[in-house]
Structure 1
Amino acid sequence: MPTLSPMDSWTDLPHPEHDRQFYAGVPAKRAAAWVIDALVILVAAAAVTLVFGVLTLGFGLMLFPFILFGASFLYRTLTIAASSATWGMMLMGIEFRDRRGHRLDLVTAALHTGLFLFLMASVIGWIATVAAMLLTRYNQGVPDLLLGTTAINRPLD
């Protein structure tokens, strides 16, 4: 039986050295999932904005940034709460788990999404999150580090 280091005593997640298959390629898969999700969100927000713009004789077009933010928050929160993964993450075969190894609930999904969107709103937050994913043992971004979550390759169970 492998021994856990003091850093691992707080988590029931698969160990990154002993269960490498759970973390193999996850940063690249997260990047690809982000692109897929960004396209889904952009199309949905553009459609809502267009409809709202027509209904308000053009006023709704000015609200595109707010609609984009709202669409992103709802999409990410609801998909993560439902299956612990966004559609892009599902296509890439990854999902979020909390420190106990469980899928994320609605509150954790909303907190993760809020932190993610806050950090993605600045270049420094974006760079810090990407750097953390590349440099931490569990490939955790800043929201993951703050909440004790991580993305893993989806288990077969």
Structure 2
Amino acid sequence: MTDQTDRHWGLPDPDLHAAFYDGIPTKRLVAWVVDTVIVILLALLALPFTAFAAVLFLPFFAAIVGFAYRTVTLARGSATWGMRLVAIEIRNGRGERLDTGTAALHTLIYSVSAAFVIPQVVSIVLMLTGPRAQGLHDLMLGTAAINRPAQA
């Protein structure tokens, strides 16, 4: 990602390289639905390992499973399985894939903002109107979802 990025951000310039951001809001929605289904399935599969005690706090348990799933998948490939399905990935402000610390911080900020209506609505509006289709958590960290570049 060297010649396709702008000098200020390190991310592809949305004016010069709009293809990196084409369809990102829709792809993020599809990825979110897929990831939600995966998290629910993982939580249900993990339930017996808690001697079914997690049934008493299932939403919290699913949130923990989701946090782990999202952090691990973002740290390993800069994309959750849902994001990989729709060929997008998250890049940091330098245009690089996320490391473990940034993946965990991205997941933490995303999880907190998703837990409240106003930050979630603000994120959606930002994704639909911003040049890089960044949510609130992306703006806070300087990250962005982009269409996966072709591998050379």
Please give the TM-score of this superposition, normalised by the length of structure 1.
Answer: 0.88
Q: Distance in 2 between matches of 1:93 and 1:155?
A: 9
RMSD: 1.5
Q: Deviation string for 1:5-28 (max 9, x for gaps)? A: xxx653011110110110000110
Task: Report the number of matched residues.
Answer: 147
Q: Which residue type is aligned with residue 71 of structure 1?
A: V
What pairs with 1:69-88 in structure 2 (closer than 5 Å)? 69-88=63-82
Among candidates 3, 23, 36, match of residue 38 of structure 1 = 36
Stretches of structure 1 lacking an aligned partner (at least 5 in a row): none
1:79–1:86: 8 Å Cα contact kept in structure 2?
yes
Match runs of 1:7-156 below 5 Å: 10-52=8-50, 55=51, 59-156=53-150
The structure whose Rg is larger is 1
Give me the whole-angstrom Cα distance separating, in 1, the residues matched to 2:146 and 2:54: 39
- What letter is aligned with 2:17? D
Q: Which amino acid aligns with 1:46?
A: L
Structure-1 separation of matches of 2:123 and 2:64:
21
Distance change >3 Å, CA 18–CA 71, structure 1 → 2: same
Question: What is the CA distance between 1:67 and its match in structure 2?
Answer: 1.2
TM-superposed CA distance for 1:49, in Å, is 2.3
Unaligned runs of 5+ residues in structure 2 are none
Task: Using structure 2 for the length normalisation, give the TM-score.
Answer: 0.91
The secondary structure found in structure 2 opposite 1:101 is coil
Identity within the alignment, %: 41
- Give the partner amino acid of 2:26: A
Give how far 1:48 is off. 1.7
